[in-house]
Amino acid sequence: MDIRVQEDPFDLGVETSAFAARQKGMGAIVTFTGVVRDLDEGVLHAMEIEHYPGMTEKALQKIAEEATSRWKLGDIMIIHRHGILKAQEMIMMVATSSRHRVDAFQAAEFLMDFLKSRAPFWKKEASGTAADWVAARDEDEDALKRW
């Protein structure tokens, strides 16, 4: 299990290749990447992500352990950034591996659903001169119920 909370950017290709190279006997690798949207008619967006050092790492570890107990997985990687991010920068990624694809797909979705609402990150979005905290959506909380 490889869990990283960092301010620095990461290279999706390099991380995915390195993750794949570490797997033994796994037939499936699933990755998901969250990106800062480049929204609304040419207005460039930026994002600031705050987190709770200490609790963040524990929460991510707990979510990853839960996924490991529910699906047959080879490995899990989670990278989540904080600080200031520009439009189209990568915010976070998860990678899962399994012998067969269903486990890796479902575990990646589970990780994303819980990471959105149970890991202590808060996004503030800026567009033009205005900046505001992103409100949590009811759908995100509802998404947890399917697991």
Partner 1 sequence: MDVLYFAWVRERIGVPKEKIDTVPATVMALVDELRSREARYEAAFADLSALRVAVDQELSDFDAPLDGAREVAFFPPMTGG
**Cα–Cα–Cα angle for 4, 75, 29, nearest 5°?**
105
Pick the binder of partner 1 from 38, 134, 144, 147 (CB under 8 A).
Answer: 134
Pick between residue 55 and residue 102 the one whose CB is nearest to partner 1: 55
- # of chain residues touching partner 1 (CB under 8 A): 26
> By the 8 A CB rule, do 120 and 109 touch?
no
Tell me which residue has tokens 């509802």: 142
Buried b (16+ CB within 10 A) or exposed e, 45-72: bebebebeeeebbebbeebbebbbeebe
Amino acid at 109: E
Q: Is 133 in the site for partner 1 (CB under 8 A)?
A: yes
- As separate numbers, helices (DSSP H) first and strands (DSSP E) second, the chain gives 4, 8
Q: Is 58 in the site for partner 1 (CB under 8 A)?
A: yes
> By the 8 A CB rule, do 44 and 38 touch?
yes
Q: Is 37 in the site for partner 1 (CB under 8 A)?
A: no
Pick between residue 23 and residue 125 the one whose CB is nearest to partner 1: 125
Pick the binder of partner 1 from 91, 95, 104, 108 (CB under 8 A).
Answer: 91
112-131 footprint of partner 1 as x/- string (CB under 8 A): x--xxxxxxxxxx-------
Contact residues for partner 1, defined by CB under 8 A: 34, 50, 52, 54-55, 58-59, 80, 91-92, 112, 115-124, 133-136, 141
